[in-house]
Amino acid sequence: MDEPHRPLRFRRIRRRLMAVMGALALAGPLVTSAGQAVAAPSAAGLTQITGFGSNPGNLSMYAYAPDGLPPGAPVVLALHGCTQSANDYYSHSGWPQLADTYGFAVVFPQTSSANNANSCFNWFEPADSARDRGEALSVKQMADKAISLYGGDADRIHVTGLSAGGAMTANLLAAYPDVFAGGAINAAPPAYCANSLTSAFSCMNGPPSRTPAQWGELVRDNAPAGTSSWPRVAVWQGSADTTVKPANATALRDQWTNVHGLGQTPTRTESLGGGTTLHGYDAPSGAPAVEVYTISGMPHGLAVDPGSGAEQCGTTGTYYLDTICSSFRTARFWGLDEGGGQNPGTLPAPQNLTVTGTTDTTASLNWNAVEGAASYDVYRGDAKTASTSSTTFTDTGLNTGTTYRYTVRAVDANGAQGAASAAATATTGGFTPTCDTASNYAHTVAGRAHQSGGYTFANGSGEAMGLWNTFTTHTLEQTAPGHYVIADSGCPSGG
């Protein structure tokens, strides 16, 4: 039927669908920001795989597995955004490069215009996003196929995605906590924030006001009854994203910290490259459970960092933005570097990692020697910060009043890392919490908050403060350098 002759209601619904998908649309030309062609990763290449199950969601499966992949390797599923394809994500995201480095397989699910006008995953459709239904089941079947095909480790399956793919990732983590050990949600709403086109608009522009317990209940309601073990979750958000507003990252933080039984005050805060601030929420054991990465000034897209450095990966393009390599940080957060590579070490974890002292800008560590160790790699958060032949180390150049998490791995004579030590945390001195009461406009001018789409959000926490104007007033408490929370009911620091 020609468009002019379709019923008016149909045309309105179709236009609304196009508007939602356009808002989440991620263009996919395979060129860099300089207009140069993108070189495909080396080794095996991207391969289409058929016969992976009943495929009720009508998706296509593509995969990349490095040559010589050992048995028991992890598997990562990476979901593209609207108007993109598996090949777009393969070419830009950096995941194939990391698969070569650490030794794991990557599956790239692909939807099409047959499912959705703009080739978006249908994250807001209950028939496609619930456990064992539609597209969600198709992705789960791909994970099963990859484990069978590559002899992978069923306990080390992870999922990540961008925008619409990120929203589907959030739903998959809730629907299949027994399948996915970890996830990374890039520029997307919380799990089950939407179940219609109307609610999809609302979530993207600013999710509903819910308590952490209410957000967490959406996950628990969609997970198998009795679930007690939950995936490790990373959240990535640009502070200048006007497509999926930064308030979504706050809601995701509330949702997944609540699911893990944690509070919403970070146990550690780190300043990373590319204008990125990391807030970590660790379990009582010290194991990381939730991490929220906020990239100052970054609009809608996936953070990449082209180059040959140890922490660089990906290539730039439309909605692939040169800031920091989010895929590298995510892989470390999931622990894909721990025995997942092609030559894993056998050395045991160093024992008794202890913080022996701190100053305003340093933290000193020591640990017990490991027999057979040629050196030790020291990790601050999820990134290696030093290698040393000693069993002591002093980290320098740290921020004042900031908590850092450290682990250490022994390295044998062949350069293979052993298991990671238990974590130790160090808090530098010199920071005094402060409080300021001012209008939303004044808070942004002073650098305590930022505005996006006419709304104001506290820097660091991302808490929604309302309209960006000189009339709305809030009290903000700075609980760590650059991290502000709303304290209208009373400021503990007394400022």
Give the tokens for residue 116: 């959705």
- Buried-exposed string 38-61: b where 16+ CB fall within 10 A, e elsewhere: beebeebebeeeeebeebbbebbb
DSSP state of 382: T
CA separation for the pair 142, 49 (Å, rounded): 9
CA separation for the pair 153, 140 (Å, rounded): 15
Reported in sequence order, the residue ranges of 215-301 that DSSP labels E, i.e. its strands, are 232-238, 268-272, 276-282, 288-295
Active site residue 42: no
Taken as a whole, the chain contains a residue count of 495
- Helix/strand/coil for 336: coil
Which candidate in 163, 327, 421, 461 is catalytic? 163
Residue in the block written with tokens 């202890």: 354
Angle at 234 between CA 233 and CA 240, to 5 degrees: 140
Query: Closest Cα partner for 398 from 428, 431, 433?
Result: 428
Residue 371: how many other CB atoms lie within 10 Å = 7
Give the tokens for residue 392: 């002591």
Give the tokens for residue 437: 């009461």
CB of 83 within 8 A of CB of 28? Answer: yes
Q: Is the dihedral of CA 432, 438, 441, 446 positive or negative?
A: negative
Annotated catalytic residues are 163
